[in-house]
Amino acid sequence: MKLNLNGKDIEVPAEAAEKRLVEFLREDLDLTGAKNACDIGACGACTILVDEEPLKICVKRVKDVAGHRVLTIEGMAAEDGTLHPLQQAFVEAGAIQCGFCTPGMVLTAHAFLLKHPDPTRDEIRRAISRNLCRCTGYQQIIDAIERAAPFYRETNIHEHTAATPR
């Protein structure tokens, strides 16, 4: 079984097919950005992107993403470690607080901005409404997404993430 993970094709061992995806990423691949919090797909801490769509992976199996493009928060930054403009906007807006929800929130925002690069604050609120944050009160997160939107309007974003092979 194969999948494209952060821009690289990987072979997944057959015995991992039934493993929960969040456990596979965290335990087998040491990609710890996605958090296992609620175990019922309610909080969004485990969100990654599959074919540029947010997916809560605490309720998904590895086999569910076979043959698809998977992007984790680890794949957002450039290969040299430079933060993606959306990640940088989260830092600059103070939207990271404890950081527990941040990976899922950033990826949800990324998927949203790919389709809606000129959003209103209300559209941003709706887009992130399925991701819970206990620290920021959401205003800094909305500010960060709004701050990053010009990058998505002005750039072919697919050239800047690991979701597309380089």
pTM of the model: 0.92
According to the model, what pLDDT value does residue 157 have?
57
pLDDT per residue, tens digit, the chain (166 aa), is 999 999 999 999 999 999 999 999 999 999 999 999 999 999 999 999 999 999 999 999 999 999 999 999 999 999 999 999 999 999 999 999 999 999 999 999 999 999 999 999 999 999 999 999 988 889 999 999 999 999 999 986 554 454 443 2
Strand intervals (E) in 6-94 = 8-11, 47-50, 53-56, 69-71
Domains of the chain: 2-75 (3.10.20.30), 85-159 (1.10.150.120)
What b/e string do you get for 56-70 counting C-beta neighbours within 10 Å, with b at 16 or more?
bbbbbbbbebeeebb
22: Cα separation from own chain's centroid: 13
What DSSP string runs through 140-156? HHHHHHHHHHHHHHHS-
Residue 115's CB: how many other CB atoms inside 10 A? 11
According to the model, what pLDDT value does residue 136 have?
83
